Amino acid sequence: DQVRRSDFGIATLSVLLVALALAGPWGVLAGLSVWLIAHLTARRMVSAFGGLTGDTYGALAEIGEATALLALAAMLRHGLLWL
């Protein structure tokens, strides 16, 4: 089975709602940053390799995690987010 657009939409909405609950609007901004970077990177991987594999999905997960941490750290540093 392949992932349908509706599955992707539900997953994205779920993540953004959790981000909103945990970190407010800045959490949503971090979530959207992760989505944008992951989407652009995945498109580049598809054009370079002809598709996505387990290794590329793993790389996307690590890139997404690093993006979220950098976004939240920047927000924390500039006083937009507090613990």
17 or 2: whose pLDDT is higher? 17
pTM confidence score: 0.80
Please choose, from the candidates 12, 7, 5, 4, the residue with its C-alpha nearest in 3D space to the C-alpha of residue 64: 12
Q: Give the tens place of pLDDT for each residue, 6-33.
A: 998 999 999 999 999 988 898 899 999 9
Q: Give the tens place of pLDDT for each residue, 69-82.
A: 999 899 889 888 77
Contacts of 25 (CB under 8 A, 6+ apart): none
Write down the pLDDT at residue 48.
96
Average pLDDT for 34-60: 95
Is pLDDT above 70 for 56?
A: yes
